[in-house]
Amino acid sequence: MNVMELELATVTGPTMIPTQETLHYTASPLLNDADSILWSLPGGWTWAPEDLDHDDTNAFVIPSPQASSGSVCAQAVGGGCSGAPVCVGVDVIVGMNEANSNREHLTIHPNPNNGSFYIETGASIGLGVLTLWDSVGRRIQELGNLNGLRKQFVVLDGLTSGTYLLRSTCEDKVMTIPVVVQR
């Protein structure tokens, strides 16, 4: 039996970002069985012009120009299989002051879960349209338009154990968070 090594150990890079500049994140270890690394960035982040390959172990990115929080995640993919995403939490504090303490973020609790969980946002515009994606980037289902709602109980039926990505799209804001389902 040939077992593929697709489990990353860490994502390293800045976690507190005081200025909008090019940031460097690294997924490790280097895995010979990985064909590519799928990166997930917080809403408002973009790829830096010097990052010519978005699928390798290095990510050069530019954070949002506004104060926010989220996660930079990496996931190894190879041979039709994928490892679990590994994330590092980040806080962009560009121009942040005490009055801006209600930052835009998504939280899921409990996480890991059995397919039932609460999702919450600190964004004043609400959760927006929620979509669920599998670990290789396929859209699994749309969970509905939750504009104006800041907290919602979600039940995901029929999913196998694994890591999924839950994406909230509301107006011009996109936020993504991993959801770990353990059945």
Mean pLDDT within 94-123: 67
**Of the candidate ranges 19-28, 44-53, 103-112, 158-167, the one whose mean pLDDT is the lowest:** 103-112
Q: What is the structure's pLDDT at 1?
A: 43
Asked if CATH classification 2.60.40.1930 holds for the domain at 104-183, the reply, yes or no, is yes
Higher confidence at residue 90 or residue 102? 90
Sequence spans of domains, the chain: 1-97, 104-183
Residue 123's pLDDT is 60
**Mean pLDDT, range 121-128, rounded to an integer:** 66
Please tell me the distance from the alpha carbon of residue 79 to that of residue 33, in angstroms, as a whole number: 8
pLDDT-derived band at 53, boundaries 50, 70, 90: very high
Tokens of 10: 């860490």
Model confidence band, residue 24 (pLDDT cutoffs 50, 70, 90): very high
pLDDT > 90: percent of the chain: 24
Does residue 12 contact residue 88 with C-beta atoms inside 8 Å?
Answer: yes
Q: Which pLDDT score is estimated for 54?
A: 92
Contact 24, 90 (CB under 8 A): no
Q: How confident is the model at residue 3 (pLDDT cuts 50, 70, 90)?
A: low
Over residues 23-43, the mean pLDDT reads 90
At 96, the pLDDT band (50, 70, 90 cuts) reads very low
- Indicate the range of 26-40, 46-60, 154-168 predicted with least confidence: 154-168
Query: Which pLDDT score is estimated for 100?
Result: 36
> Greater confidence, 30 or 103?
30
Written as six digits, the tokens of 17 are: 């970002």
Number of helical (H) and strand (E) elements in the chain, helices listed first: 0, 16
CATH superfamily to which 1-97 belongs: Immunoglobulins (2.60.40.10)
Average pLDDT, the chain: 81
**Residues 51-65: b if buried by 16+ CB within 10 A, e if exposed:** beeeeebebbbbbbe
Confidence of residue 58 (pLDDT cuts 50, 70, 90): very high
